[in-house]
Amino acid sequence: MKIAWIGTGVMGKSMAGHLLAAGHGLSVYSRTKDKAANLMARGAVWANSPQEAARDAEIICSMVGYPKDVEDIYLGPAGILKNAKAGAMCIDFTTSSPSLAEKIFKEAKKKDIAALDAPVSGGDVGAQDGKLSIMVGGPFSSFKRALPIFKYLGKTVVYQGKAGAGQHAKMVNQIMIAGTMMGMCEGLLYAKKARLDPEKVLASVGGGAAASWSLANLYPRILKKDFKPGFYVEHFVKDLRIALNEAKRMRLKLPALTLAEKLYRQLKNSGGSRFGTQALIKELERIQRHKGT
């Protein structure tokens, strides 16, 4: 199968690699060509633009940074939908806005192109291991057609409903992660202040009701002062802002989400934009120092 892949960042390069390893023909485009070097060394063909990558592809996948990037590559003057052939399918794995997913679906349908929004969760480790959770929105017939692709990339693949539903499900995911990260980091600060051994605390709470993916995977990174990104702070801020905007549109007040967005935005603005989300501990430590406690 001819597949185009747009975006070879922290997660995209691993996801595209699984499709390449499965024997599919792969054309790739990324704003930074060096990020696709490993894929090209394994047989992927470089394309000079998203539309060039998409032109002869049966499946067009994207994993980029921001909703504006998604809009540009799909709906721009030289975008994918102006160049993809009838009968092709577009799958956007980017976490983006539900309304944009709906717009892309409608525009694609006019050109006899299928479109799915399929944001993922699982970070760099999930992408590397092919064990992502994939949340899919769009026609069920398109979902069934794309299922073989999803199975290369994810362990949990769930059809959520019509176009935009995948993005809404991802907002739920990000809201829950935000709350978990605040609790985990504050718990670690408490443990240190109480002069507990953080490793022993992890052994206890990780085996009880407080257990979570973040606790198992990110707490140990914090203890090692490893703030390399599995998922960038700047992208998480973008996601939380989308969730807040959607909540406002639905007349839903979410105070914990509001606080999380504020804390992560402060972390981003203080130089932490390219850290992983576990770097929230830095912002909370900064607050403690500022208050002199």
pLDDT, tens digit, for every residue of 135-193?
999 999 999 999 999 999 999 999 999 999 999 999 999 999 999 999 999 999 999 99
Contacts of 145 (CB under 8 A, 6+ apart): 89, 114
Give the rounded percent of residues in the chain with a pLDDT score beyond 90: 94
pLDDT tier at 123, thresholds 50, 70, 90: confident
User: Does 19 have pLDDT greater than 70?
Assistant: yes
Delimit the domains of the chain by residue range: 2-163, 168-291
pLDDT at 224 over 60: yes
User: Could you give the CA distance from residue 213 to residue 173 in angstroms, rounded to a whole number?
Assistant: 12
How far is 40 from 30, CA to CA, in rounded Å? Answer: 12
Contacts of 120 (CB under 8 A, 6+ apart): 11, 15, 93, 126, 127, 132, 133, 134, 135, 153, 154, 170
* CATH 3.40.50.720, domain 2-163, yes or no: yes
User: What is the spatial distance between Cα 141 and Cα 246, in angstroms, rounded to a whole number?
Assistant: 27
Residue 153 exposed, middle or buried by CB count within 10 Å (0-12, 13-18, 19+)? buried
Would the pLDDT of 133 be above 70? yes
Contact assessment for residue 138 and residue 163, using Cβ atoms and an 8 Å cutoff:
yes
- Three-class secondary structure of residue 258 per DSSP: helix
- pLDDT of amino acid 10: 87
Percent of the chain with pLDDT over 70: 99
Distances (CA, A) of 257 to 233, 267, 276: 15, 15, 18
168-291 matches 2-163 in CATH topology: no
Average pLDDT, the chain: 95
Which of 266, 271, 269, 280 is closest to 177 using CA atoms? 280
DSSP 276: B
The number of angstroms, rounded, from the C-alpha of 15 to the middle of its chain's C-alpha atoms is 12
User: pTM for the whole thing?
Assistant: 0.93
Q: What is the mean pLDDT of residues 231-238?
A: 94
Query: How much is the pLDDT for 230?
Result: 85
What fold characterizes domain 168-291? Answer: N-(1-d-carboxylethyl)-l-norvaline Dehydrogenase; domain 2 (1.10.1040)
Q: Which helix or strand (DSSP H or E) is residue 90 part of?
A: strand 89-92
pLDDT beyond 70 at 292? no
CB 91 within 8 A of CB 39: no
- Could you say which DSSP state residue 85 is in? P
Angle between helix 280-291 and 255-267 (nearest 10)? 90
62-93 pLDDT, tens digit each: 999 999 999 999 999 889 999 999 999 999 99
In the predicted structure, residue 291 carries a pLDDT above the cut 90: no
* The pLDDT of residue 96: 96
Half-sphere exposure of 184 (CA within 13 A, CB side): 29
Residues with a known catalytic role: 170
- Of 247, 118, 282, 248, nearest to 175 by C-alpha is 247
